[in-house]
Every structure is written in C-alpha cells, then in structure tokens.
Amino acid sequence: EVQLQAFGGGLVQAGGSLSLSCAASEITFDDYAIGWFRQAPGKGREAVSCISRSDGTTYYADSVKGRFTISSDNAESTVHLQMNNLKPEDTAIYYCAAHAVFCTIQTLGIHYWGQGTLVTVSN
C-alpha cells in the first residue's frame, strides 16, 4: 500500500522557519512528482510547491517564492519543504501529494495524498 507520511508541522512566530518532510513508501519514487498543498480554514486546497523526479523541475506558488525551498532525498524517498520567513497567512494544514511524473497544481488527478500536518504562524 502506497503511503505518504508528512512530518514537521508546528507552531512558529511570524518570521520564523519550519521544515516539512514527506516520506514515501511502496512507491517508485522516480516515477512521481511529489508536492505540497495547503488548506487554510474556510478556504480551498491550493498548491504550494512541487518537485518532479523525472526532470528535476520545481514549482512554487507566487505567495511562497523566495521563502520556501523544496528538495528531494532520493536515498530516503523523502521530499523536504524548508519554509522561511513564515507569515500568518501561511497558517494551514499542509498535505503532501504524489502525481505521476510531472507536477500539477490541480488537486484533481493527484494519485496519492498524505495525511495533513498543521502549520500555525502567530503574529
């Protein structure tokens, strides 16, 4: 059974940093793009960042460019999201997700979802 396990959420003050990790198991890591979506209270799920294992391309939402960095650890089949200079508007449940080959910003078509991890950024 394919599993995506997300780690690393928590509470941080504005301007602080957090690192999220998504560990994939029972999946051919190279065949998938792994990304992060988030859902704030009362809002829809939006794409945050993604990395494609097939060609190494990355995607960042405009709202996080320059602050978030995504990377992959191939040996551990894990994707990391380093989040710096966090803002209160980054508060959300963050979900890791796998899509075949290339990144997508659409929730439709995501093959696998991990459980969410809560990120709370206080003023």
The tens digit of pLDDT for each residue in 37-95 reads 999 999 999 999 999 988 889 999 999 999 999 999 888 889 999 999 999 999 999 99
The 3-state DSSP class for residue 46 equals: strand
The CB density around residue 113, as the number of other CB atoms within 10 Å, is 16
| Structure-block tokens of residue 4 | 């995506």
Q: What are phi and psi of 75, to 5 degrees?
A: -65, -30
Q: What is the CA radius of gyration of the chain?
A: 13
Tell me the pLDDT tens digit for each residue of 12-45: 999 999 999 999 988 888 889 999 999 999 999 9
pLDDT for 18 equals 98
Give CA–CA dist 46/38, Å, rounded.
Answer: 5
